[in-house]
């Protein structure tokens, strides 16, 4: 009995000392995990508020060198609500002259509604009006597939967190990228051309 106990003691001491030796060598120290995303907490998803929906650019800079914009209500807040609303952009005589519209067969009144005072509003197909800030529901009337992609987070730029339990996410509004009057994404120059080692020649030049 005594000998069995002493054997056990020896075994325990041996195990403990070998574990200490292993730890001292740095082996068998399992790599840890960062905690899993929390299912319950849900960070805010904020949709960016594009200035384009409540103001218009003037092409001038203010004293701080920032783009000078004028709120829609600066003029439209005092204009007579009874003024006739043009059919097409070409009919604009007094203001917004030269506005280019290339958006299917849409005319001004497809989306805009005459108003007097207060914030300008947009008209949905069913006749109800929404604030310009909610233009997305207007766009969604025709671009349903894009809108459902957007709602699933697979259309439109974003920044912030994929794991909303750790932080917020900021998402682009439709008109951040698409000018409602000319919605097609405009061509641009690509940035950061690759500079590989040696002379860089396009493949066409190399292979005829």
Partner 1 sequence: MDKAKRRSLKVLGATLGASAFAYAMAPLREFTKDLTIDQFLQKHYKELTKADLAALVERLERETKQAYGKEVHIQDFRPMENVEFGYALNLSVCIGCRKCAEACHFENNHDRATNNSYIRVLEMEQGSFDLEKGNAHYDHAVPAPGKYYMPVQCQQCDNAPCVKVCPVQATWKEKDGIVVVDYNWCIGCRYCEAACPYHARRFNWTKPEVPTDEINPNQGLLSNRIRPQGVVEKCTFCLHRTRQGQLPACLEACPTGARVFGNMLDPKSEIRWVLEHKRVFILKEELGTRPRFFYFFDS
d(CA 31, CA 42): 28
State yes or no: residue 40 binds partner 1 (CB under 8 A): no
> Are the C-beta atoms of residues 151 and 47 closer than 8 Å to each other?
no
Given 116, 118, 144, 167, the residue binding partner 1 (CB under 8 A)? 167
The binding track of 140-159 with respect to partner 1, each residue x by CB under 8 A or -, is -----x---x--xxxxxxxx
Among 80, 94, 126, 204, binds partner 1 (CB under 8 A): 204
**Separation of alpha carbons 122 and 115, rounded Å:** 10
* Local structure of 139: helix, strand or coil: helix
CB of 47 to partner 1, least distance (A): 13
CA 13 to chain centre: 61
The answer to whether 94 and 86 have CB atoms below 8 angstroms apart is no
Q: Contact at 8 Å (CB) between 81 and 160? A: no
Q: Which stretch binds partner 1 (CB under 8 A): 7-15, 66-74, 94-102, 185-193?
A: 185-193
CB of 196 to partner 1, least distance (A): 7
For position 127 contacting partner 1 by CB under 8 A, the verdict is: no
Residue 160 in contact with residue 153, Cβ under 8 Å? no
| Beta bridge partners of residue 121, listed in sequence order | 131
Q: State which of residues 32, 40, 63, 97 lies at the interface with partner 1 (CB under 8 A).
A: 32
Is 189 exposed, middle or buried (CB count within 10 Å of its CB: 0-12, 13-18, 19+)?
exposed
Q: Tell me the closest approach of the beta carbon of residue 68 to partner 1, in angstroms.
A: 24
List the one residue from 64, 66, 93, 203 that touches partner 1 (CB under 8 A).
203
- Which residues contribute to the site for partner 1 (CB under 8 A)? 23, 26-27, 29, 31-37, 145, 149, 152-163, 165-167, 169, 172, 177, 185, 187-197, 200-204
């Amino acid at each position: 009995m005594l000998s069995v106990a002493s054997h056990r003691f020896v075994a325990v001491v041996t195990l403990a000392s070998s574990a200490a030796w292993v730890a001292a060598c740095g082996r068998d120290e399992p790599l840890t995990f960062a905690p899993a995303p929390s299912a319950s907490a849900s960070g805010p998803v904020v949709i960016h508020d594009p200035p384009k929906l409540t103001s218009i650019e003037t092409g001038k800079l203010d004293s701080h060198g920032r783009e000078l914009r004028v709120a829609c209500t600066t003029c439209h807040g005092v204009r007579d609500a009874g003024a006739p609303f043009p059919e097409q952009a070409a009919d604009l005589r007094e203001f917004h002259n030269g506005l280019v519209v290339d958006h299917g067969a849409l005319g001004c009144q497809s989306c805009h509604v005459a108003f007097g005072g207060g914030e300008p509003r947009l008209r949905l197909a069913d006749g109800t009006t929404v604030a310009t800030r909610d233009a997305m529901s207007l766009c969604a009337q025709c671009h349903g597939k894009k809108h459902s992609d957007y709602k699933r987070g697979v259309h439109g730029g974003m920044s912030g967190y994929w794991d909303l339990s750790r932080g917020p996410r900021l998402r682009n509004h439709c008109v951040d990228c698409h000018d409602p009057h000319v919605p097609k994404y405009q061509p641009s120059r690509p940035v950061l051309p690759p500079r590989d080692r040696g002379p860089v020649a396009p493949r066409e030049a190399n292979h005829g």
